[in-house]
Amino acid sequence: MARILRKNMTPAEGSIWQFIRKRLLETRFRRQHPIGSYVVAFIAMEYGLVIEIEGGHHFDTNQKKKDQKRTADLEKYDLYIIRFTNNEIFSNIAGVLEHISQTIDYLKGNNAPCL
């Protein structure tokens, strides 16, 4: 499943992957990585940071409940999850990358503010 998802990334995932894969954040990320019964969009294993990208269907009430359960389940693996919408990625990629960078600094213990 993860292999299929890697070959068929959404446009938003592809957009952010262009920055992540070049290690502009000075951190190695894996894409479409399986964890338990889930496949996360991106993970920085070194920091336990998961980045999830959400399309329009994630605003549905039932999907929000599923996402909350998914987050709780992933947090049991001592992972830190941040989520971005497709719109955030397309309209403010610089802000998204800054948020990821600040989160990495926070997880490193540099006490940087985490948005």
pLDDT attached to residue 11: 84
pTM score, whole prediction: 0.82
More confident residue, 99 or 63: 99
pLDDT attached to residue 113: 45
Mean pLDDT, rounded, of the chain: 83
The CATH topology of domain 2-108 is Endonuclease; Chain A (3.40.960)
The b-or-e profile of 96-112 (16+ CB within 10 A means b, else e) is bbebbeebbebbeeeee
pLDDT digits (tens, 9 = 90+) for 17-52: 888 877 777 889 999 999 999 999 999 999 999 999
Among the listed ranges 11-15, 59-63, 107-111, which one has the minimum average pLDDT value?
A: 59-63
